[in-house]
């Protein structure tokens, strides 16, 4: 992997560390039940691994040979990469927790289950032009008409003529209008979880780029043989 690619991965992994998660904790700490602290701790496992490996690689003990030093770096890189891969499930669980929090907010707003007027509402929406349908949905969002919103969110797209992307937008807009503080928290939780998950996906690849086995006897012999072969070809 080229150095610029390694630098990009390192930046992606480290860019949103504990500092970013701490910002979420400061803003939503009282209602997030410690989510951002947990996300920060999980993300720290990745950033600390990178810091640990880079520190070892850059500071060889003068009492050991280059080969021994590289062997130690190799061993640590593989150990840290394996550790991060084994803990990736914790990062994935964060995202699931964020979506559970979103569902809880929507449940409190009364839009997670269909109602007895749902079929009629969907039929009416499906019969409208796109412009009329958008106006009706906007009115329902602003007025807090949970029956209309629930009928949209609880049915597949082909029934209402509303795409899944539009359904997601309706879900977000309704939360922002009816529960703005919790809408902001849920969005921050999703971003926090996604960044922690991304760090766990990218870090093992970055860590393993530090592994260099050229010092090993077998590798050295192969390199020497290749050099001799090239010398023979050059003298033909």
Q: Quickly state the pLDDT bin for 170 (edges 50, 70, 90).
A: very high
Q: Does residue 191 share a domain with residue 101?
A: yes
Q: Which of 153, 178, 203 is the last residue of a domain?
A: 178
Domain span at 64: 1-109+182-236
Q: Does residue 164 share a domain with residue 115?
A: yes
Number of domains in the chain: 2
- HSE of 234 in the Cβ direction (CA atoms, 13 Å)? 6
Q: Does residue 78 share a domain with residue 192?
A: yes
Q: Does residue 126 share a domain with residue 24?
A: no
d(CA 140, CA 148): 6
Q: Does residue 19 share a domain with residue 83?
A: yes
**In the numeric block, which tokens belong to residue 194?**
């996604």
Q: Does residue 94 share a domain with residue 17?
A: yes
Q: How many CB atoms lie within 10 A of CB 33?
A: 12
Q: Does residue 132 share a domain with residue 94?
A: no
pLDDT in tens, 59-84: 999 988 898 999 999 999 999 999 99
Q: Does residue 105 share a domain with residue 5?
A: yes
Q: Does residue 116 share a domain with residue 140?
A: yes
User: How would you label 45-59 residue by residue, b for 16+ Cβ within 10 Å and e otherwise?
Assistant: bbbebbeebeebbee
CB 139 within 8 A of CB 145: yes
pLDDT in tens, 113-161: 998 999 999 999 989 998 999 999 999 999 999 999 999 998 888 877 7
Of 7, 193, 234, nearest to 92 by C-alpha is 193
The residue to which tokens 């093992």 are assigned: 204
Q: Does residue 154 share a domain with residue 56?
A: no
pLDDT in tens, 22-56: 888 888 877 888 899 899 888 888 989 999 999 99
Q: How far is CA 181 from CA 30, 100, 167, 184, in A?
A: 11, 16, 21, 5
Q: Which of 154, 178, 202 is the last residue of a domain?
A: 178
- Predicted pLDDT of residue 155: 84
d(CA 96, CA 73): 35
Q: Does residue 36 share a domain with residue 64?
A: yes
pTM: 0.75
Q: Does residue 232 share a domain with residue 213?
A: yes
Of all residues in the chain, what percent are helix, strand and coil, respectively (each to 5)? 80, 0, 20
Q: Which of 178, 197, 222 is the last residue of a domain?
A: 178
């Amino acid at each position: 992997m080229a150095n610029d690619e390694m630098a990009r991965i390192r930046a992606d992994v480290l860019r949103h560390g504990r500092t970013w998660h701490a910002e979420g904790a400061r803003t939503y700490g009282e209602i997030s039940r410690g989510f951002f602290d947990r996300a920060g701790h999980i993300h720290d496992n990745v950033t600390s691994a990178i810091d640990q490996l880079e520190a070892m690689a850059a500071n060889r003990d003068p009492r050991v040979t280059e080969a021994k030093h590289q062997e130690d770096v190799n061993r640590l890189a593989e150990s840290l990469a394996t550790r991060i891969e084994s803990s990736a499930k914790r990062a994935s669980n964060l995202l699931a927790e964020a979506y559970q929090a979103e569902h809880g907010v929507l449940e409190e707003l009364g839009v997670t289950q269909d109602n007895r007027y749902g079929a009629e509402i969907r039929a009416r929406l499906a019969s409208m032009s796109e412009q009329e349908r958008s106006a009706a949905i906007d009115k329902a969002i602003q007025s807090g008409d949970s029956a209309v919103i629930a009928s949209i969110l609880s049915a597949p797209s082909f029934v209402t003529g509303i795409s899944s992307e539009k359904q997601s937008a309706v879900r977000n807009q309704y939360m922002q209008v009816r529960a703005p503080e919790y809408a902001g928290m849920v969005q921050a939780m999703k971003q926090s979880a996604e960044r922690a998950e991304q760090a766990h996906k990218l870090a093992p690849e970055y860590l393993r780029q530090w592994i260099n086995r050229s010092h090993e006897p077998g590798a050295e012999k192969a390199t020497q043989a290749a050099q001799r072969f090239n010398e023979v070809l050059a003298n033909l």
